[in-house]
Amino acid sequence: MERLKYKNLQLPSGNLWLNKVTDEYYDFNDVIELSKEYELPTIEDFKELLDNTDSEVCYENGVYGRKFTSKHNGVSIFFPHTGYFEGERHWHKDTCASVWSTTEFDKNNAYYLTFYSLPDIGVEKHNGFGISYFPNSIKMPIIFIQHKN
């Protein structure tokens, strides 16, 4: 894997975030396997991100998404609208971003960060985001994190 460039949002934990979600989609079993080799966010990491950033819908690199900007230093990361796969069906490709955590909800479901943003000439018509859970078989992107231990 290429050398990853992490951003310091000056979060209380000191964790660093990569400013890119993967182009590939993974189910939760894949996430657990990848977490043995790479650092991936837990649900607590996502909560810390939400608590310590302001967010807005924006258009970057030809796609809509949500930018999270640190309340501490103004550094930001961008989550593009990539949607998710349920079987062969690609849901909400241009209006939603969903990113797995490594935290299980129960034996069949896991937590993820999600946000819906329906852009209307730069204005948000619907703006919902937060933490939820999905069946482990859903496929969505992941983002890398560097935990400060």
pLDDT, tens digit (0-9, with 9 covering 90-100), for 86-101: 999 999 888 888 899 9
pTM of the model: 0.88
Amino acid identity for residue 64 in this structure: Y
- pLDDT tens across 38-89, in order? 999 999 999 999 999 998 888 888 888 889 999 999 999 999 989 999 999 9
The answer to whether 102 touches 91, Cβ cutoff 8 Å, is no
Q: Are strands 16-21 and 6-8 parallel, antiparallel or unpaired?
A: antiparallel
Question: Do residues 63 and 81 touch, judged by C-beta distance below 8 A?
Answer: yes
Considering the chain, what is the average pLDDT of its residues?
87
In sequence order, the 6+-apart residues with CB closer than 8 A to the CB of 43 are 101, 103, 111, 131
Structure confidence at residue 4 as a pLDDT band (50, 70, 90): low
Burial zone of 58 (CB within 10 Å; 0-12 exposed, 13-18 middle, 19+ buried):
middle
- List, in sequence order, every residue forming a beta bridge with 17; answer none if it has no partner: 7, 145
